[in-house]
Structure 1
Amino acid sequence: MMNMSLKLNSEIRYIKGVGPSTAEKLNRLGIEIVEDLIYYFPRDYEDRRNLKTLAETDEGEKATFHFKVIDQGYIRFNGRNHPKIKVTDKTGIAYLYCFNRNYLKDILVPGTSFYLIGKYSLKGRYPIFSSFNYELDDNNAKLGIIPVYRLTSGISQNLLRKIIKTVLDSLSDKLKEEIPEFIRKGYKIPPRGEIIKRIHFPPSQRELRRMREAYSYQEFFKYQLIVAMAKSKNKEIKKNRIKSSGELREKFLKKLPFKLTNAQNRVLSEIDRDLDSPAPMNRLIQGDVGSGKTIVSVFAALKALERNEQVAFMAPTEILARQHYNSLKEYLSDLNVKIEFLSSSVKGVKRKELVLKLLKGDVDIIVGTHALFSDDVEFRNLSLVIIDEQQKFGVLQRGKLRQKGKHTDCLVMSATPIPRTLSMTLYGDLDVSIIDEMPQGRIGTETHIVKQAEINKVYDFVKKEVSEGRQAYFIYPVIEESAVLDVKNATESFEYLNNEIFSEFNVALLHGRMSEEEKDKIMQEFKDRKYDILVSTTVVEVGVDIPNATVMVIEQAERFGLSNIHQLRGRIGRGKYKSYCFLIPDKSAGREAFNRLMILKHTNDGFKIAEWDLKLRGPGDIIGKKQAGLPSFIIDDIDINTKLIYRAQKDARKFVNGEIGIEKERELFLNSFIQSESYKRASLYFGG
Structure 2
Amino acid sequence: MRPPELTPLFASAEVLKGVGPRVIALLKKALRLPPGVLLPRVIDMLWHLPTGVIDRRAEPTVAAALPGTIATLKVRVLKHKGPPRGNTKAPYKVATEDETGRLDLVFFRVERSFVERQLPVGEERYVSGRVERYGETLQMAHPDYIVAPDNRGDLPLLEPVYPLTGGLSGKVLLKAERQALERVPPMQEWQDAAWLKQRGWPSFAEALKRLHHPEDAADVSPGSAPLQRLAYDELLANQLALAMVRESFKAQRGRPVHGDGRLRAKIIDALPFALTNSQKTALREIEADISAPRRMLRLLQGDVGSGKTVVALLAMAVAVEAGAQSALMAPTEVLARQHMETIAPLAEKAGIRVGLLTGREKGRVRDDILARLDAGDIDILIGTHALFQADVVFHDLAFAVIDEQHRFGVHQRLALQTKGGGGGANMLVMTATPIPRTLLMTHYGDLEVSKLTEKPAGRKPIVTKQIANGLMEKLIARIKAQLAEGAQVYWVCPLIESSDVSDLAAAEERHAHLTQVLGEGVGLLHGGMNATAKDATMAAFADGNLKVLVATTVIEVGVNVPNANIMVIEHAERFGLAQLHQLRGRVGRGSRESFCMLLYAEPLTRTAQERLAMMEDTEDGFLIAEKDLELRGGGEVLGARQSGEAEFRVAGGAGFSELLSAAHDDARMILSADPHLTTERGEALRRLLYVFECDEAIRLFRAA
Fold match (TM-score > 0.5): yes
1:42–1:147 Cα contact (<8 Å) kept: no
Of 397, 403, 406, the match for 1:382 = 397
Q: CA deviation at 1:42?
A: 5.4
Aligned AA (2:331) = P
1:510 equivalenced with 2:526 (yes/no): yes
Q: 1:616 to 1:214 in 2, by over 3 A?
A: closer
Q: 1:257 to 1:18 in 2, by over 3 A?
A: same
1:579 equivalenced with 2:594 (yes/no): yes
1:446–1:581 Cα contact (<8 Å) kept: yes
Q: TM-score, normalised by structure 1?
A: 0.75
Of 622, 632, 654, the match for 2:672 = 654
Q: Write the distance in 2 (CA, Å) between the matches of 1:631 and 1:596.
A: 25
Q: Write the distance in 1 (CA, Å) between the matches of 2:167 and 2:560.
A: 39
1:437 equivalenced with 2:457 (yes/no): no
Q: CA deviation at 1:591?
A: 7.4
Q: 1:355 to 1:191 in 2, by over 3 A?
A: farther
Q: Write the distance in 2 (CA, Å) between the matches of 1:175 and 1:517.
A: 53
Q: 1:288 to 1:167 in 2, by over 3 A?
A: same
1:140 equivalenced with 2:144 (yes/no): yes
Q: Write the distance in 1 (CA, Å) between the matches of 2:594 and 2:354.
A: 33
1:543 equivalenced with 2:549 (yes/no): no
Aligned AA (2:176) = T
1:26–1:155 Cα contact (<8 Å) kept: no
1:219–1:682 Cα contact (<8 Å) kept: no
Q: Which residue of 2 aligns with 1:640?
A: 658
Question: 1:480-514 CA distances to partner (integer Å, 9 max, x unpaired)?
Answer: 4x527733752564365256544544331525x67
Q: Write the distance in 1 (CA, Å) between the matches of 2:613 and 2:539.
A: 33
Q: Which residue of 1 aligns with 2:479?
A: 462
SS at match of 1:333: helix
Structure 1: gaps spanning 5 or more residues: 1-5, 51-64, 68-112, 116-135
Q: Which residue of 2 aligns with 1:173?
A: 183
1:410 equivalenced with 2:420 (yes/no): no
Q: 1:590 to 1:357 in 2, by over 3 A?
A: closer
Q: 1:244 to 1:485 in 2, by over 3 A?
A: closer
Question: 1:276-312 CA distances to partner (integer Å, 9 max, x unpaired)?
Answer: 1111111111111111111111111111111111111
Aligned AA (1:411) = L
1:558 equivalenced with 2:573 (yes/no): yes
Q: 1:168 to 1:549 in 2, by over 3 A?
A: farther
Aligned AA (2:510) = F
Q: 1:200 to 1:547 in 2, by over 3 A?
A: farther
Q: Write the distance in 2 (CA, Å) between the matches of 1:492 and 1:166.
A: 42
Q: Which moved more, 1:314-323 or 1:195-204?
A: 195-204
Q: Write the distance in 2 (CA, Å) between the matches of 1:590 and 1:675.
A: 40
SS at match of 1:416: coil
1:428 equivalenced with 2:434 (yes/no): no
Q: Write the distance in 1 (CA, Å) between the matches of 2:474 and 2:654.
A: 38
SS at match of 2:313: helix
1:417–1:606 Cα contact (<8 Å) kept: yes
Q: Write the distance in 2 (CA, Å) between the matches of 1:203 and 1:431.
A: 46
Q: Which residue of 1 aligns with 2:39?
A: 33
Question: 1:113-169 CA distances to partner (integer Å, 9 max, x unpaired)?
Answer: 999xxxxxxxxxxxxxxxxxxxx99632987474442x65x345x35x733641551
Q: Write the distance in 1 (CA, Å) between the matches of 2:558 and 2:186.
A: 41
Of 410, 422, 435, the match for 1:395 = 410
Q: Write the distance in 2 (CA, Å) between the matches of 1:673 and 1:518.
A: 47
Q: Which residue of 1 aligns with 2:382?
A: 367
SS at match of 1:640: helix
Structure 2: gaps spanning 5 or more residues: 1-6, 57-67, 71-128, 132-139, 146-155, 700-704
Of 257, 279, 290, the match for 2:305 = 290
Q: Which residue of 1 aligns with 2:346?
A: 331
Q: 1:417 to 1:336 in 2, by over 3 A?
A: same
Q: 1:492 to 1:16 in 2, by over 3 A?
A: farther
Question: 1:332-376 CA distances to partner (integer Å, 9 max, x unpaired)?
Answer: 122111110111111112222221221221111000000001011
SS at match of 1:437: coil
Q: CA deviation at 1:390?
A: 1.2
1:311–1:366 Cα contact (<8 Å) kept: yes
Alignment RMSD: 4.0
2:326–2:398 Cα contact (<8 Å) kept: yes
SS at match of 2:566: strand
Question: 1:492-542 CA distances to partner (integer Å, 9 max, x unpaired)?
Answer: 64365256544544331525x678887677656655666543434446332
SS at match of 1:634: coil
1:378–1:404 Cα contact (<8 Å) kept: yes
Of 303, 319, 323, the match for 2:334 = 319
Percent identity reads 34
Q: CA deviation at 1:248?
A: 1.0
Q: Which residue of 2 aligns with 1:86?
A: none
Aligned AA (1:418) = I
1:551–1:572 Cα contact (<8 Å) kept: yes
Q: Write the distance in 2 (CA, Å) between the matches of 1:433 and 1:360.
A: 33
Q: CA deviation at 1:398?
A: 0.8
SS at match of 1:351: helix
Q: Which residue of 1 aligns with 2:584?
A: 569
Q: 1:9 to 1:228 in 2, by over 3 A?
A: closer
Q: 1:467 to 1:632 in 2, by over 3 A?
A: farther
Q: Which moved more, 1:403-412 or 1:539-548?
A: 539-548
Where does 1:609-648 land on structure 2 (aligned, <5 Å)? 609-620=624-635, 622-623=637-638, 628-631=646-649, 633-634=651-652, 637-648=655-666
Q: Write the distance in 1 (CA, Å) between the matches of 2:327 and 2:654.
A: 35
Q: Write the distance in 2 (CA, Å) between the matches of 1:559 and 1:27.
A: 25
1:300 equivalenced with 2:303 (yes/no): no
Q: Write the distance in 2 (CA, Å) between the matches of 1:527 and 1:655.
A: 57
1:509–1:534 Cα contact (<8 Å) kept: yes
2:10–2:41 Cα contact (<8 Å) kept: yes
Q: Which residue of 2 aligns with 1:132?
A: none
Of 251, 254, 258, the match for 2:266 = 251
SS at match of 2:652: helix
Aligned AA (1:416) = T
Q: Write the distance in 2 (CA, Å) between the matches of 1:683 and 1:393.
A: 19
Q: Write the distance in 1 (CA, Å) between the matches of 2:693 and 2:284.
A: 37
Q: Write the distance in 2 (CA, Å) between the matches of 1:37 and 1:533.
A: 48
SS at match of 2:424: coil
1:613–1:621 Cα contact (<8 Å) kept: no
1:220–1:649 Cα contact (<8 Å) kept: no
Q: Which residue of 2 aligns with 1:483?
A: 499
Aligned AA (1:645) = A
Of 620, 638, 644, the match for 1:605 = 620
Where does 1:258-269 land on structure 2 (aligned, <5 Å)? 258-269=273-284
Q: 1:164 to 1:336 in 2, by over 3 A?
A: farther
1:471 equivalenced with 2:488 (yes/no): yes
SS at match of 1:629: coil
Where does 1:138-217 land on structure 2 (aligned, <5 Å)? 139-140=143-144, 144=158, 146-149=160-163, 154-155=166-167, 158-159=169-170, 162-163=172-173, 165-170=175-180, 172-174=182-184, 181=189, 183=191, 192=204, 194-196=206-208, 198-200=210-212, 202-204=214-216, 207-208=219-220, 209-217=224-232
Q: TM-score, normalised by structure 2?
A: 0.73
Q: Which residue of 2 aligns with 1:46?
A: 52
Q: Which moved more, 1:386-395 or 1:232-241?
A: 232-241
Q: Which residue of 2 aligns with 1:82?
A: none
Q: Write the distance in 1 (CA, Å) between the matches of 2:257 and 2:632.
A: 49
Q: Which residue of 2 aligns with 1:453?
A: 470
Question: 1:554-611 CA distances to partner (integer Å, 9 max, x unpaired)?
Answer: 2222232323211111112223333211112212226774464233223211112223
* Higher Cα Rg, which structure: 2
Q: Which residue of 2 aligns with 1:419?
A: 436
Q: CA deviation at 1:383?
A: 0.9
SS at match of 1:545: coil
Q: CA deviation at 1:185?
A: 6.6
